[in-house]
Amino acid sequence: MKKLIKYSIVLFLFLNINFLNAQSTKPVIKDSTLERVGLSCDFNNNLDSLLNLWYVQQSVDSSNLLAGIEPDSTVPLINIPDSIYIKRLSKINSVIDLPYNSIVKSYISMYTQNKKELVGVMIGLSDYYFPIFEEVLDLYQLPQEFRFLPIIESALNPRAVSRAGATGLWQFMYGTGRMYKLTINSYVDERRDPVAASHAAARFLKDLYSIYKDWTLVIAAYNCGPGNVNKAIRRAGGKKNYWDIYYYLPRETRGYVPAFIAANYTFRYYKEHNIKPQAINVPLTSDTLMVNKLLHLQQVSEVLGIPINLLRDLNPQYKLDIIPARERAFALKLPVDAVGSYIDKEKQIYAYKDSVYFNRKNNINPIKYTSSYQYDVPAGSIRYDYRVQTGDNLGFISEKFGVTVAQLRSWNNMYGNMIRANQKLAVYLSQRVATQLGIITPAQISPKIESGYIVHTVKSGDTLWTIARQYPGVTGEDIIKINNLKSDRVYPGQTLKIKPKS
């Protein structure tokens, strides 16, 4: 028995010495090794959680910052010497290691060269979101560099939903969100609330750091979960350096840390790459009021004259535009210059068409809020039913028509990339692309007004009721009659004739 105890103690010390050595030894990153998966890695899989920039009113997609790169393709590299990248990364004040190698270079190339326009959009959005992240990270005494995680996770889209159901800026799964006290029900999803989700993410990051005591492993674990990181450490013989366990991590996580490093680089040096921040419509200064009664965002919009889409941008957690403040108070975020008006007109706001906005038949159709994000059809686009040819894949089709793989999946209710010959795919094209491809001629492009009628293209989330409200004197019944509709159901991309009454 004594020999067994002695043997156990020796074994314990031996394992711990090896464990500590693995922690303290920083391996040399050899590009020749990493390149085996580096330049030909599946970038679509690595960043597949990035979804559409929902509130950018353009056909700009972020379903993947590296969309359009097919597996085993070669990523074009920026023609800048490695020494420049190394020098620039070394100048970034960061408590998290930002090493440089061929994989990091590939991701920098994608951010700064292939997706410059999208990065410009995100830099513009960061003016609104980064102060929120930074305040929360400071409260929890976490590195400020973590403000870049939502860049990789969601492209700064609070309504992003991955195929697995991860939701919001920080991409919380349902179980993890509930674990960190986020409210998730039919009306509210606080995974989409920038403030609430940031607090939950900060607590999650602190918990991960208590396990690994290494920020790079924390980043990896945030993406694939501590279970997968622990397995990788075990398979690597107890080594706890990210680049030592690189090949033992899930494939999609291998690109996660390099993408994080590239995001740090890009946001620091975007001017050197001639990337221009794009202006956003969300007001940078806003204030929060607590709502204690049932309230519809449309009531606020109508009485205060605030565009409904702006209210949705500021309050993305309310899935049906309803603040369900029955049993407890909920937050309502408004542009700072509208707060005074809200307080002055509060009674008028609550009374405004109360019976209309809380009629269950008039609630926004919740189908658009399911786990598969529904991409809005760009205004003025033309539907084209493409018949799949032998040898086609979604990447080829998306490139041909100037759309994205994620849009094709969403428009056709697809959950994967499998297609078959002769299958029909709905594709929504801009008028310019449609004419270039010979699908329509310029003469066939109808003017907005035809014989006293207005042509309305249905957007995701539209109902006959919301459409009718946009035109004076028009009712849902009018639209049904004029368009010979068999029911009150409409679908994105559908065109409707509207005849406003003077």
Contact 115, 106 (CB under 8 A): no
Domain check: are 266 and 396 in the same one?
A: no
pLDDT at res. 453: 66
Are 141 and 159 members of one domain? yes
How far, in Å, CA of 22 to CA of 385, rounded?
Answer: 57
Q: What is the structure's pLDDT at 401?
A: 85
Task: Tell me which of 212, 243, 273 is where a domain ends.
Answer: 273
Asked whether residue 342 falls in the same domain as residue 411, the answer is no
Express each pLDDT in 351-409 by its tens digit.
887 767 776 554 544 333 333 333 445 555 677 888 898 888 887 888 888 887 777 87
Residues 386 and 348 in one domain: no
> Residue-wise over 385-416: b if at least 16 C-beta within 10 A, else e?
ebebeeebebbebbeebebbbbbbbbbeebee
Domain count, the chain: 4
pLDDT tens for 2-52 read 444 444 433 333 333 333 333 333 333 444 333 333 333 333 333 322 222
Helix, strand or coil, per DSSP, at residue 318: strand
Is 366 part of any domain? no
> Based on the domain organization, do 346 and 401 belong to the same domain?
no
**What is the 8-class DSSP label of residue 83?**
H
Q: Show the domain range for 489.
A: 446-498
Q: Are residues 263 and 171 in the same domain?
A: yes
**Judgement on whether residues 327 and 204 belong to the same structural domain of the protein:** no
161 shares a domain with 42: yes
**Residues of the chain under the 70 pLDDT cut:** 1-78, 355, 359-381, 413-416, 440-454, 460-461, 470-472, 500-502
Tell me: do 63 and 205 sit in the same domain.
yes
Residues 87, 23, single domain; the answer is yes
> Which of 53, 57, 171, 168 has its CA nearest to residue 115?
53
In-domain check, residue 3: no
CA distances in angstroms from 357 to 293, 297, 366, 464, 465, listed in the order given: 14, 9, 15, 14, 11
> Would you state the pLDDT for residue 488?
74
- Give the ranges where 412-495 is alpha helix by DSSP (H): 431-436, 464-468, 476-482
Q: Is the dihedral of CA 386, 389, 393, 395 positive or negative?
A: negative
Do 307 and 182 share a domain, yes or no?
no
CATH label of the domain that carries residue 239: 1.10.530.10
The beta strands (E) that lie in 179-327 are given as: 286-291, 295-296, 322-323
What pLDDT, on a 0 to 100 scale, did the predictor assign at position 59? Answer: 28
